[in-house]
A and B are shown apart, each in its own frame.
Chain A
């Protein structure tokens, strides 16, 4: 039997949740700063309100519930799950006040989509949105992609508590011996890429004729949503707003870098360039992108034979990159995906979205390392059946270091794989129940659960509330990779009768 949460456990959970809410209160100061720069006074008031509300809520909780010693595993997992829901509700406040959302649930949907780095949107009239609100949408992507807990690790989680809460946010790899150092490294890498790509994108935007202040505003937003594989954009048309092949190439590069494991980034940053060619996950990821792009392209060309090669390649390759990395940026529109991508191509796009990027990256989905491990196990099984009975077969792979394949790794990977596929199907069943065609429902459900953001048009402000809630849950579950959610459910039951 799984042990019940004790009163001390609950105290610890609420205390640290309160601290993370205080952190959000301070994070609201950044969009407030943007509002002041652009002289957007009503949005400024909204951010002041959101900040004060979060701070008072956070201080109230920390006052009521005392600090305790180190967190245990179940507390760490519960905090990780709970805080994502609370951030969704609080992050939605300024969005709802902006007047760009029909209902508060729509703002919550957008907020969860941003924090979970999904990229599905329910915003209305985005093109007239204030810079500060738009900045907040993208900044939420950045916070969520980097990890809410990861940010907390830099500030107030220390000692044994740190690793327990770090794992709760679907991160297992310790790039450096200490998770706090790992968190620092992830933030340093991200900030370095931010400076590089904001400069590149900013100057490309200026070259395209956009005024410097807006060019760099676009650049910051596009980088934050791209690097953290969220896929939000400043305008309704997403990346097709720019009508530029160069922007397509730069954003592709950003999202591929974002979808790579931070372990691989660390290896390259420390001069181990050979790791790129040796890394098993990277090889599987590259191979999968090439294969799925080719198959999607093949189906597309067969159906729409009169389109030239460059156009077909640009259209299909960008969607596969976007789907596979989990960013959800698109240089076409949902109607185009629905009307011109044949079912054959949509199936491979769904597979790309479902598989996702690399482990310990900002992308969602099953993750390539797990897929690779299952393929290795399959190879091992085939070898076993075709070898003499007494032969002991050991499979190895290289991921930062040489690792022997173990049953425990296979078990974990298989469970996660099954859970993802079940959730993709569950969401598509709800969609089908509400009257949408199965393939489109599967597409949208996979996009939500794998935190991608590509859409065939089901996601819009007029979709049924049941589907909005389904996708919110899928985005949340998909981002945290199930385990901490199950512990959180146990926590909810404990609230009724703590031991």
Chain B
């Protein structure tokens, strides 16, 4: 496995220069890049997943809704600190690797086998600001709901008595 990766790395660096592409491009014109080395940039999102020796991350374009799975080494995992989720902006990574539309190693997955992983921007946690207008609106609604609840119950008991 290491030998293959080494050969792929040599092939990538010296014989076939990687092309920088957007993740969207890998979906829309995937055939052009099938089995070729590519460079993609994106935010690491969700969870780190791992099986046996390999690790999976998912990266998403910073500005568009396109994401792809990337197989990376255990060593490269250590570079990633932030995984994007609610209130967390994930690390922005530059991945250089081989793009597969039907990966033979992973039962036909569309993926990238990373050869080089570089963090180009650290992610961060951010706090949410409370929306005061909504809080005030909620208080008003509490009052309205209680009044209606009272009237509704009063009407029910009146109708029950009538019966």
Contact = CB atoms under 8 A, between A and B. Distances in A.
Given A311-B108, A312-B108, A314-B108, A243 B69 contact: yes
Interface residues of A, number: 55
Contact of B159 (A52, A66, A245, A339): A66
A55 B141 CA distance: 9
Nearest to B69: A243
A361 to B, nearest CB: 29
A460 to B, nearest CB: 8
A315 interface: yes
Contacts of A387: none
A235 B58 contact: yes
Contacts of A240: 69, 109-110
B53 interface: no
Contacts of B49: 208-210, 242-244
What size tier do the contact residues of chain B reach? Answer: 35 or more
A46 to B, nearest CB: 7
Interface string A39-62: 011100110110011011001101
B130 A127 contact: no
Contacts of B101: 336, 340
Interface stretch (A128-136, A150-158, A429-437): A128-136
B88 to A, nearest CB: 8
A214 interface: yes
A241 B49 CA distance: 10
B47 A209 contact: yes
A127 B46 contact: yes
B136 to A, nearest CB: 10
A379 interface: no
Contacts of A55: 145, 148-149
A63 B67 contact: no
B100 to A, nearest CB: 10
A124 interface: yes
Interface string A303-321: 0100110111011000000
Interface in A275-328: 304, 307-308, 310-312, 314-315
A127 B60 contact: yes
Contacts of B87: 130
Interface in A216-242: 235-237, 240-242
19 contacts: A41-B128, A42-B134, A45-B134, A46-B134, A55-B149, A56-B145, A124-B65, A127-B85, A128-B45, A209-B51, A235-B46, A236-B60, A237-B69, A241-B69, A243-B111, A307-B102, A311-B104, A315-B102, A335-B30
